[in-house]
Amino acid sequence: LWNNSLQFYEKIQAHGFVQGILDGTLPKESFQFFLEQDRQFLNTFDERLSVIVSKSPASLRQELSGILE
């Protein structure tokens, strides 16, 4: 798996955003934008996951409740 993914890992490591975080040159506004986008994604993910769990069988909800809390 790692060998098949190495090219993607290297591209991620070379990305300007990642390099800017690593060397301290990423503009504050870029990082703030990233954080806001991440917040929106996580909120939406949480909402959708809650809907999925609420529509699942009770036995599965009970199993998932321990994981999701």
Whether pLDDT at 69 is above 70: no
Sign of the Cα torsion 60, 64, 66, 69 reads negative
Percent of the chain at pLDDT above 90? Answer: 64
Average pLDDT, the chain: 91
One-character DSSP codes across 10-60: HHHHHSHHHHHHHHT-S-HHHHHHHHHHHHHHHHHHHHHHHHHHHTS-HHH
Per-residue pLDDT, 65:
72
For 2-32, the pLDDT digits (tens) are: 889 999 999 999 999 999 999 999 999 999 9
The vertex-65 CA angle with 64 and 68, nearest 5°, equals 80
Spatial neighbors of 17 by CB under 8 A, at least 6 apart, are 26, 30, 34
